[in-house]
Structure 1
Amino acid sequence: MKKVLIILLLIPVFALAQTTEELDLIATYNDGIAAIKKDNSWGFINKKGVIIINFRDDLVLTKTDDGKYPVFYNNRCLISEKKDGIQYFGYIDKTGEKIIETKFLNASNFNNDVALALEVLSQSMGKNDILNKPIVNYKYFEVIIDTEGNVKEYLNPKGNNIALDKKFIKSPPKITSKFITEDLVAILNENNKWVIKSIK
């Protein structure tokens, strides 16, 4: 009877312990969690070594001083998804749930609750009567978004025309703007000159 009681008492302890083995890479902790790699997939562990986000293949790698791996900033991690052959970017939270839809042509990691992204907007230009199809013009804009994905600021109000077709978009367009302080962003204008703008 004592042996049965001891076994029953030890089962919950063993059930709570978790061993993660056979990993290809363990990144440094960032935002309280660390990326782990197994084969070609990435996941995340907490500070107790428990896997909190299972292995998946849509996480975007960030170049750091000690390698390239997915990272969390402001409780957000970049993900990407191909739609009609074009790569779009969004974000997950620490539960692994998609918190910002994959709708941006490019996006940066969050910093101080904001990120840079390329938002695509379409404008109807009429209709092609011969093909019986709408004529649509697409532009992308460099924007600042908050942690919910809402656009806070348009950095290039004129936008850039783009053919939204996988034949023309082989890789994500570059984000040219950059944060230089928490409150200032540097924007590269059409004359290839830098303009400094306050975002507060």
Structure 2
Amino acid sequence: MKRLIAIYLILIGLPLFIFSQDVSNVDFISPFHEGVAAIKKGDTWGFINTEGDLIIDFRNDLVIEYSEDIDYPYFNSGRCLIKEQKDGITYFGYIDSSGHEVLEPQFLNATAFNDGLAIILKLYKNILGRNDVLDKAMINYDYMELAIDPDGEIVHYISEKPVHITLSKFFMKGPPPIRSKFLSKSLIAIRDDNNKWRIKKV
């Protein structure tokens, strides 16, 4: 009987030991967005809820947003941007407010969500044929600028045609730029190669 009581107490207390972490000695605390605030410790970021509990542990893959008074990762539409390097190239994805990866890092660039929409650069792999001498597939890559919803479903095709890219860290000095922004849910501003803007209705 004593053994059963001891096991019961351990099982009840275990979640407290696992999830209650000391939220002290942090370098920065952001304002709350959607009920969570970003906190910084060293080069890592985590999130606390309105109770002060650490709900997403400190990690180094969260994307810091730089716009107006925002210099920290944040949630909008239940999503926060993350990034991951693969073969020297940075890919972007999203986590939900529990810290689970809902859209794995796969986009060449991406914005934070705003009112249920985000703009991403989606990569497309094209197999052109096969090189028999080298015994390997001949591949090239394009990307398109798209708007997605929080589930990753494409809502708008912003690019009028695919953009070719050489997918190599030796040719890519950073993520390709996103050339559009939402002015409202039905208006997108698109910047051309001459740094001029045009308005597109969606």
Cα–Cα, structure 1 residues 90 and 18, in superposed 2: closer, same or farther, change >3 Å? closer
CA shift digits 1:124-175 (9 cap, x unpaired): 1112222121111210100001101122222113111001111111211100
Paired residues in the alignment total 186
Out of 55, 61, 64, the position equivalent to 2:64 is: 61
Task: From 162, 180, 199, give the equivalent of 1:196.
Answer: 199
1:175 aligns with 2:171: no
Alignment of 1:32-43 (within 5 A): 32-43=35-46
Mapped to 1, the partners of 2:21 and 2:51 lie a distance apart of 9
* Paired position in structure 2 for 1:138: 141
Q: Show the counterpart of 1:120.
A: 123
In the other structure, the counterpart of 1:3 is: none
Runs of 5+ unmatched residues, structure 1: 1-11
Output the CA distance in 2 between the equivalents of 1:151 and 1:145. Answer: 4
Distance 2:184 2:86 in 1: 34
Residue in 2 that maps onto 1:5: none
Q: Please show how residues 56-95 of structure 1 align to structure 2 within 5 Å.
A: 56-95=59-98
Provide the rounded CA distance (Å) in 2 between the counterparts of 1:56 and 1:18: 14
Maintained 8 Å contact 2:179/2:192: no
C-alpha contact 1:18 1:49 (8 A) present in aligned 2 = no
Do the aligned residues in 1 keep the contact of 2:26 with 2:41 (CA within 8 Å)? Answer: yes
d(CA) in 2 for partners of 1:129, 1:173: 33
Matches of 1:49 and 1:166, distance apart in 2: 41
Matched to 2:173, the amino acid is K
Q: Equivalent residues in 2 for 1:12-27 (5 A)?
A: 20-27=23-30
For 1:29 and 1:153, the matched residues in 2 are separated by: 30
Matches of 1:191 and 1:137, distance apart in 2: 27
Runs of 4+ deviating beyond 4 Å: 15-19, 189-193
Output the CA distance in 1 between the equivalents of 2:197 and 2:68: 27
Is the partner of 2:118 in helix, strand or coil?
Answer: strand
**Partner of residue 45 from structure 1, selected from 48, 55, 63:** 48
| TM-score normalized with structure 2 length | 0.85
- Aligned-residue Cα RMSD (Å) equals 2.1
Q: Deviations over 1:97-127 (max 9, x none)?
A: 0011111000001111110000000111112
| Structure 1 residue 186 displacement after superposition | 1.5
Greater mean alpha carbon deviation, residues 32-41 or residues 61-70:
61-70
Deviates more, 1:88-97 or 1:27-36: 27-36
Report SS of the residue matched to 1:94.
Answer: coil
Query: How many angstroms does 1:178 deviate by?
Result: 1.0
Find out whether 1:155 has 2:158 as its counterpart.
yes
